[in-house]
Amino acid sequence: MAAGVSNLHGETSYRYRKFKSDSMMAITVGATILTLIPLFLVLGYLLTKGVASLNWAFFTHMPAPVGEAGGGMANAIVGTLEVVGIACLIGVPIGVGAGLYLAANRASQFTNWVRFSADVLMGVPSIVVGIFAYAVIVRPFGGFSTLAGSVALAAIMIPLVTRTTEEMVLLVPPELREASLALGVPHWRTTLSVVARTALSGITTGVILAVARVSGETAPLLFTAFGNRFWSTSLFHPINTLTVQVYTYAISPFADWQRQAWAGALVLTGIILALELGVRWVTGGAAKAPR
Amino acid sequence: MGDGRGGESAKVAMAEKLVVKNLNAYFHKNRALHDVSLSFEQDRIAAIIGPSGCGKSTLVRCLNRMHEVVPGATATGEVLLDGNNIYADGVDPVQVRRRIGMVFQKPTPFPTMSIEDNVAAGLTLNGVQISHAERHEVIERSLRQAALWEEVKDRLRRPGGSLSGGQQQRLCVARALAVQPEVLLMDEPCSALDPISTARIEELLLELKSAYTIVIVTHNMQQAARCSDMTAFMYTGDLVEYGETKQIFTNPTRRETEDYITGRFG
């Protein structure tokens, strides 16, 4: 050990520094493990509980009437995809657009207000967003609906997507923007094809995180999409979603329903995982590009 | 001073490609250029030298209306490109920039694009419709002009960022040339490069001179002396002296120029 440097009177200090380095390394590795333990416990528990109740019927059948065993969550699976999908159609363009705007106009009073409101909105409990959607959509339009659920989820997504988009765009070196403008590329084209394109992998990550977040929301859907024991894909009628179905089944007194709630939770997690992997695969080129 | 007397050929009259008249540039209330007037001639290289913060970069950035891209930056005065004022009402800065290309201090290849896409970026981003063959022709011609073709011809689809710093800078030159500008502005193009890459860029400048009007900002006086025909010395926002490079470096008329060139300050 430390051959060659033994006479340089730095040996004790070297040992001390090595000790400090090793201890810090041990602490950070320990913290990482502690962070991962709950994740694996949750996933593991979910798998052991959920897999047992999963069968083909779960994906293809409708919920069984009370008292009857079996049945599935086909309508809830489709419903979750529909509600979240429409929420993305509403939320992603608005969020990305607002984020680009914020990044392009840093200094104005107006953008400061927008940024501040987005930050406040991110902290608003999701149930409050649900009540808001109930008041502005469900009540005036006379009933629970898919659209109301999607609007509630979009309202949760927008501030998240806006702020991540802004942060990611600000990471793009300003020189790139200038280089594009100097080629005679118009401002709007520069913003879209160079700045936003360079920030794309970051923006995509932000969108995925927002989608994952809203896919797991239950509270705002209780007042808006409501839930439905029957098949419906209409925008203007109540629709079933996995989260609401899991919630209903989990607090029910029936063992069969509780088992299905575990399966539903597992499927929901699987959908989110598949979504993340899918988007990463699609934007693979962008995600791998240097910085 | 410095009236077309040297020149490598006896052209009848040097065409004045770019004429600057009473140019003032501001950052908010701060005046960065004071009534600068000078002209750049066709097929010659003009170097702008001076200490940091003297307005060199601001001046070149005013020449293709890149100055105003910075928030709060404005300019007054005239810049005539072939006799037409690029600051006149109704002139589209985007059109100006297509005729006056620019290369920056730091190499700025677009990181999401391959080498060939970087070269063609000025065309594709401007929505120019060209055939596959034409596109390839533009890419090869531009890369050859930028003396980069031999080094990258086998890996045109690799990311632009995979090249070395000097190659990236030549890629940026190729990208600027691909849109066939008439004037090429270079804002300290070698300051981030090692001496060998710097030498490559300087050789390149001399090759390009016959086809373009080139204005180069440089910190490096040897560089100005080596590759420019005309030299402008700027100090605190004023154009102190402008003339034939040989005259500026051997027999400057102004005291400040002499002090700067001999290293007494700056």
8 Å CB contact of B108 and A197: no
- State yes or no: pLDDT of B241 exceeds 60: yes
pTM for this model (two decimals)? 0.77
Distance (Å, whole) CA A129 – CA A155: 7
Angle among Cα A282, A285, A288 to the nearest 5 degrees reads: 120
Distance (Å, whole) CA B183 – CA B258: 29
Tell me if A121 sits within 8 A of A158, measured CB to CB: yes
pLDDT for res A78: 92
- State yes or no: pLDDT of B5 exceeds 50: no
Read off the CATH number of the domain in which B257 is found.
Answer: 3.40.50.300
Tell me if A10 sits within 8 A of A18, measured CB to CB: no
Query: Does residue B66 fall inside a structural domain?
Result: yes
- State yes or no: pLDDT of B1 exceeds 80: no
Domain ranges in chain A are 74-242+269-283
User: Which residues from B are below 8 Å from A when comparing CB atoms?
Assistant: 64, 66, 69, 71, 94-99, 101-102, 104, 106, 108, 110-112, 121-122, 125-127, 159, 161-162, 172, 175-176, 179
pLDDT for res A287: 45
Distance (Å, whole) CA B189 – CA B141: 21
8 Å CB contact of A179 and B111: no
Tokens 């470096």 belong to residue? B249
pLDDT for res A234: 86
pLDDT for res B233: 93
8 Å CB contact of A180 and B161: no
pLDDT for res A121: 92
Tell me if A164 sits within 8 A of A103, measured CB to CB: no
Distance from CA of A87 to the nearest CA of B (A): 29
8 Å CB contact of A290 and B159: yes
Distance (Å, whole) CA B193 – CA A268: 53
Distance (Å, whole) CA A263 – CA B11: 86
Looking at A144-186, list the stretches that DSSP marks H as alpha helix, in order from N- to C-terminal side.
146-171, 174-182
Distance from CA of A85 to the nearest CA of B (A): 28
Which two three-digit tokens encode residue B112?
A: 């999401």
Tokens 């040297």 belong to residue? B6
Nearest to A289 among B108, B112, B125 (CB): B112
Helix (H, G, I), strand (E, B) or coil at B106: coil
pLDDT for res A288: 43
Residue B252 is part of which domain span? 12-106+183-261
Backbone angles phi, psi at A122, to 5 degrees: -65, -30
Contacts of B172 in chain A (CB under 8 A): 179
Least-confidence region, from A175-184, B6-15, B72-81: B6-15
8 Å CB contact of B64 and A190: no
CA torsion angle B101 B106 B109 B112 (round to 10): -130
pLDDT for res A41: 94
Tokens 């988009």 belong to residue? A165
8 Å CB contact of B112 and A200: yes
- State yes or no: pLDDT of B6 exceeds 80: no
Contacts of B104 in chain A (CB under 8 A): 175, 178-179, 182
Query: Does residue B5 fall inside a structural domain?
Result: no
pLDDT for res B7: 41
User: What is the helix, strand, coil percentage profile of chain B, to 5?
Assistant: 35, 25, 40
B82-116 pLDDT per residue, tens: 989 999 999 999 999 999 999 999 999 999 899 99
For residue A3, CA distances in Å to A8, A11, A13, A19, A84 come to: 11, 10, 15, 18, 63
Backbone angles phi, psi at A226, to 5 degrees: 70, -50
**Which residues are CB-neighbours of A156 under 8 A, at least 6 positions away?**
A126, A129, A210, A213, A214, A217, A220
Distance from CA of A171 to the nearest CA of B (A): 13
Distance (Å, whole) CA A202 – CA A91: 17
Tell me if A167 sits within 8 A of A259, measured CB to CB: no
| Chain A residue with minimum CA distance to B98 | A184
Distance (Å, whole) CA A147 – CA A185: 39
Backbone angles phi, psi at B105, to 5 degrees: -60, -50
Kind plus residue range of the DSSP H or E element containing B40:
strand B30-41
DSSP state of B28: T
- State yes or no: pLDDT of B9 exceeds 50: no
Backbone angles phi, psi at B244, to 5 degrees: -55, 140
Q: What's the CATH code, domain A74-242+269-283?
A: 1.10.3720.10
For residue A227, CA distances in Å to A88, A149, A240 come to: 20, 10, 4
Tell me if A272 sits within 8 A of A216, measured CB to CB: yes
Tell me if B171 sits within 8 A of B197, measured CB to CB: no
Distance (Å, whole) CA B97 – CA A158: 36
Q: What is the mean pLDDT of chain B?
A: 88
| Structural domains counted in chain B | 1
The total number of residues written for chain B in this structure: 266
Which two three-digit tokens encode residue B192?
A: 């981030």
B183-213 pLDDT per residue, tens: 999 998 888 888 888 888 898 889 888 889 9
* DSSP code string of B126-140: TT----HHHHHHHHH
8 Å CB contact of B122 and A185: yes
Confidence of residue B14 (pLDDT cuts 50, 70, 90): low
8 Å CB contact of B122 and A178: no
pLDDT for res B191: 85
Per-residue pLDDT of chain A (291 residues; tens, 9 = 90+): 445 445 555 567 888 889 999 999 999 999 999 999 999 999 999 999 888 888 888 888 888 887 777 888 889 999 999 999 999 999 999 999 999 999 988 878 999 999 999 999 999 999 999 999 999 989 988 889 999 999 999 999 999 999 999 999 999 998 999 999 999 999 889 998 999 999 988 898 889 889 988 999 999 999 888 888 888 888 888 899 999 999 999 998 888 889 899 999 999 999 988 887 877 777 664 444 433
Distance (Å, whole) CA A225 – CA A79: 9
Distance (Å, whole) CA B175 – CA B121: 7
* DSSP code string of A182-246: HTT--HHHIIIIIIIHHTHHHHHHHHHHHHHHHHT--HHHHTTTB--SS----TTS-B--HHHHH
CA torsion angle B186 B191 B193 B196 (round to 10): 80
- The bridge status of strand B30-41 relative to strand B16-27 is antiparallel
Contacts of A175 in chain B (CB under 8 A): 104, 106, 108
